[in-house]
Amino acid sequence: MCGIAGFATADNLDKSEILLDEMLNSIKHRGPDGQGKEVNEDFSIGMRRLAIIDVASGWQPIYSHDKRLAIVLNGEIYNYQELWQELKKKRYSFTTDHSDTETVLHGYEEWGEKVVDHLVGMYAFVIYDKKRRELFIARDRLGIKPLYYFERNGRFFFASEIKALLKSKLIKPEVNLPVLYRFLMFRVHDNGEETFFKGIKRLLPGHYMTVGKRGIKKIKKYWQPRHNPQFSSEKTDREYADEFLHLFKKVVKRHLIADVPVGITLSGGLDSSGVSSLTAELMREGVDLHLGGKLHTFSSLYPNKTIDESGYIHTVERYIGSEPHYVYPKVEEFWQDLSRWIYHQEEPTISSAPYAYYRVYQLAHRFVKVTLSGNGGDELLAGYLPYFRSYLTAALDQKKYFNAVKEVVAGWDIYKRYFCDLIEQKNPFSKNLKMNELLSRAFVGQGGDFQYFISRNLNERLMQDVLYYSTPNLLRYEDKNSMAFSIEARVPFLDHQLVEYIFGLPIDQKIKNGWTRYVYRNAMKGRIPEKNRLRRSKVGFTNPELDWLKAKADVITDIFSSNTFKNRALYDNDKLLNSFEKWLDGSPGDGLIFWRIMVSELWMREFID
């Protein structure tokens, strides 16, 4: 159930219904199976349905018995069966066969705004209360499912995608310059309520709001996890690993709940390997993926490229006995798809890497309606090398000098590259390219008072990335990529109960003895191939993006030289062209700087111009 939209109704109900239809049609890709709507003198709300659970009778809006309440929901409630039984004991009667959405509706009748505390899942839902003449809108704790909104002339609009909001014609698409500046300078986006579109906001993860006819009444945060700042362990490594495995297997199992075919996106990395292997194990225990007993995996391959993960992917496929499917993205296909991809992403991306997922979901659409991925595991379990810096500073702050020295020695084979890169970045005489040198004087400083704060404590740093700096944009990429092809993408690692457990683990269950993801590697022993469990490299779903930029240098030069680009007055155009030419000739620097500039321009041409 994957696309919702609505607004405070204007005086003319017929025109309101036409506008609602236009908004819903713009997100038809999110829900091609059907449409439902409620239009009254207070609010017009509707949904496009991708039927996953209760295919036959779970149509929306769903109404309460007295017709006072109506709900539309985007997402899945994984504990709906337990809620169903609990609410039946409280004498609530159900009109659907087993719709997870109906449990949210009756849960709201029982618990009011606190219904969110009872939900396990990914969701953005809207409940219309006829008696109060208001909307109750909530988004899941990690922000897996999107919800955008704006207010204009006393009217409120909401939708699962920004393109639906633009159908209102009440808000002109304009660039939100502070957001664009922070994106270009710091690679930060999706980290707050502001979007790249001026005036359009997102309801933040773990928040709900109430909305009346005259606009927003209240926005409240309902979830804030805590982190364990310490190294000290109360249990043995084995006890932690057993606890983790028990919970993780439970989480994966509930993410497999569906009445339609389910598959796995397999990158070959540790996280997707674990999700794939536990899924195969659960299938042997009787879980049905509605594919005739087969487990379908979907992967992106780049033969003869340094980023090719085929060896790790094939090892997992053989281990779990999956039926594999592959895409082989090419540079020409990427440039042909680029405009359409930007249209679906709706906002710029920090690299072209998410395009690999776009192609994988394009393939998966032919076989399944639901996929599980390993997204979020790196940010939760310290899978990236820069996290080692926060490990070291935490050890030094807590006088764990032996831990710090031991970790440097044990992990030197992988950490030394990070140290070298860090030294180069801090070198005041470095000739590396810097974004601020390419911006116009008028544009520099447009980011306001933004500060990119990185905690010295590893667990707090991980929480920052999961809640603010990294995972939110990864979830946006995955939602938009999958929904472009009418697939519901699920992310077991970001189940909030698993997230809370991992945040509560000691620091040295994340990094220890030269290993990242320490507790996870221990938990997966005997459950994924040792080649994958003990790998020390990190690639994931990506593409040879720098090569792809160089392959189309003439196209990028034309973009940077165009009058449209120059007239925006955002860049020092001569310096930009000169720097791009030098980078093509081999000068040092981060080539993705040019990607961010280019994709921002193409986004403006797609949505602003």
Cα of first residue to Cα of last residue in the chain, in angstroms, is 32
Q: Is 420 an active-site residue?
A: no
**Which residue type does 389 have?**
R
Residues 146, 202 contacting (CB under 8 angstroms): yes
**CA-to-CA separations, 46 to 18, 164, 445, 508, in angstroms, rounded:** 12, 12, 41, 48
Cβ neighbours, 10 Å, residue 323: 13
Sign of CA dihedral 561, 562, 565, 569: positive
Distance CA 127, CA 129 (A): 6
Element (H, E) at 482: helix 471-483
Distance CA 525, CA 576 (A): 50
Q: Single out the catalytic residue among 1, 2, 262, 599.
A: 2
Q: Where are the beta strands (DSSP E) in 78-179?
A: 121-129, 134-139, 148-152, 155-159
Residues 21, 36 contacting (CB under 8 angstroms): no
Question: How many helical (H) and strand (E) elements, i.e. helices and strands, does the chain have?
Answer: 24, 17
Distance CA 404, CA 392 (A): 6
Task: Identify the residue whose tokens are 């946006």.
Answer: 476
The 10 Å CB-count burial string (b at 16+, else e) for 221-241 is eebebebbeebeeeeebeebb
Task: Identify the residue whose tokens are 């639901």.
Answer: 370
Active site (catalytic) residues: 2
